[in-house]
Amino acid sequence: MPELPEVEAARRAIEEHCIGKKIKKAIIADDSKVIDGVSPSDFVAALVGKTIVSALRKGKNLWLQLDSPPFPSFQFGMAGAVYIKGVAVTKYKRSAVNDSDEWPSKYSKFFVQLDDGLELSFTDKRRFAKVRLLEDPASKPPISELGPDALLEPMTVDELHGSLSKKKVAIKALLLDQSFVSGIGNWIADEVLYQARIHPLQIASSLSRESSATLHKCIKEVVQYAVEVDADCDRFPLEWLFHFRWGKKPGKVNGKEIDFIVAGGRTTAYVPGLQKLNGNQAGKAVGKPKARTSKKKRDGDDDDNDNNEDGGSEPTSEDEKIARKAKSKRELRPKGPGKKPSAKRKSKASDTDSEEDEGAATAAAADDDQKKKPRRVTSRKQVMVGKAPKKLVNNQNTNKPRKKVK
């Protein structure tokens, strides 16, 4: 999912190209899953004629301050991205959509044309983002519930160590908790823990002050560097774990083997030779990610998603909770009158699907019912090649009610 550097790159692009310009036209998608709490027509009416005064960010959230409220607010979710026509804006590697053939993209949820002809679009191809219209975005959830911003409001070493000493949770899970510190996602957490030589499952309260100071330094350096290069991963240092962590593929970084475990409910890349469990946790076994055979896996997609597909502990961000809740509803939805929910598929469904194919599910259920019925034997040939039916015992009461198949 887009993390602090990607969202900050979008904010800076808007600040550079859109500030002081009036919104001439607006198109809001009729998608209540993404457009939260307001109708498209009311959203458009609140935008047209307003001037963009500034672009603000906290954590992974962005909002536009207009010359009068309400203001549009963007929670990027797993694949949110900002596009400005004719302007290069860095995207999270799994968020990009093809806007060269179609503008605005079919995935556009928020589109505005400014008075000088410049056009801006917010896209989301996976529909886990949220676009809201709020009087004061900073005072409303999710922004009001965020911890200090990792770039704008960094903790001191003493503050960080003091906070860590109270948390009896794995350090990776804590870094992903946006109420603890906002803006850090899966790849940044993996990177800073690798550079700090801290095992992802090390309990936060067990870290020494020295380890806390090292972690503080690494968070600051990784976040600041990624922001300075506008989140362009091609410009990240070659020795960063970032370049080798995608897709759970075997590899090495600086000659050291990379391994993958589950930490904080997420697939986590780390280097066992450098990141070791210490203290009472030394020598303990660590959990491995579950094997996956989905289309997403076959296509080489990464596991850096917030829908908690990799199993493990509870979700550690609002986006993960939203994704898991939506997924659970799809899996537990009855497929017809009197039918039980279908069993979980071995292969995960595509993340881009918002609902299951009800028709296919109903047909599958009917097919299962058909398979349960006893096979009718009509010829000797069928008996020879098929499964022989059980013979009725003489004097057996054949009118006895048949037991219901559970």
Q: Residue 231: pLDDT above 80? A: yes
Residue 367 CB: number of other CB atoms within 10 A? 9
What does the pLDDT read at residue 250? 79
Q: Residue 371: pLDDT above 50? A: no
d(CA 383, CA 34): 58
Plot region of 62 (φ>0 → left; ψ -120 to 50 → alpha; else → beta): beta
Element (H, E) at 55: strand 52-58
What is the fold of 4-145? N-terminal domain of MutM-like DNA repair proteins (3.20.190)
Element (H, E) at 13: helix 4-17
Q: Where are the alpha helices (DSSP H) in 290-375?
A: 295-298, 318-332, 358-372
The answer as to CATH 3.20.20.60 being correct for domain 157-298 is: no
Q: In 67-189, which ranges are E strands?
A: 71-75, 80-84, 108-114, 119-124, 130-134
85-94, 189-198, 385-394 — which is least confidently predicted? 385-394
Q: Judging by DSSP bridges, how do beta strands 259-263 and 71-75 pair with one another?
A: unpaired
First to last CA, the chain: 43
d(CA 62, CA 81): 11
Q: Judging by DSSP bridges, how do beta strands 108-114 and 23-28 pair with one another?
A: antiparallel
The token pair that represents 4 in the structure block? 């602090």
**Each residue's pLDDT tens digit, 123-136:** 999 999 999 999 99
d(CA 52, CA 364): 52
What does the pLDDT read at residue 200? 98
d(CA 27, CA 350): 28
Specify whether the CB–CB gap between 184 and 152 falls below 8 A.
Answer: no
What does the pLDDT read at residue 296? 45
**Each residue's pLDDT tens digit, 241-260:** 999 998 888 789 999 999 99
pLDDT, average across residues 355-372: 42
Fold match, 4-145 / 157-298:
no
pLDDT, average across residues 180-201: 98
With b meaning 16 or more CB within 10 Å and e meaning fewer, what string describes 195-216?
A: bbebbbbbbbebbeeebbbbbb
Q: Residue 20: pLDDT above 70? A: yes
Specify the residue for token string 């030589």.
197
Return the domain boundaries, the chain: 4-145, 157-298
Q: Residue 64: pLDDT above 70? A: yes
Q: Does the pTM of the predicted model rise above 0.85? A: no
Q: Where are the alpha helices (DSSP H) in 127-255?
A: 157-164, 171-176, 186-196, 209-228
The burial class, CB within 10 Å (0-12 / 13-18 / 19+), for 126 is: buried
Q: What percent of the chain has pLDDT over 70?
A: 68
What does the pLDDT read at residue 92? 64
Which tops the pLDDT comparison, 368 or 174? 174
The token pair that represents 99 in the structure block? 């806007």
What does the pLDDT read at residue 264? 93
What does the pLDDT read at residue 339? 47
188 Cβ partners below 8 Å, 6+ apart? 3, 4, 5, 150, 175, 219, 222, 223, 226
Average predicted confidence (pLDDT) for the chain: 80
Q: Smallest Cα–Cα separation from 52: which of 124, 118, 146, 130?
A: 118
The catalytic site residues sit at 2-3, 60
Q: Residue 100: pLDDT above 90? A: no
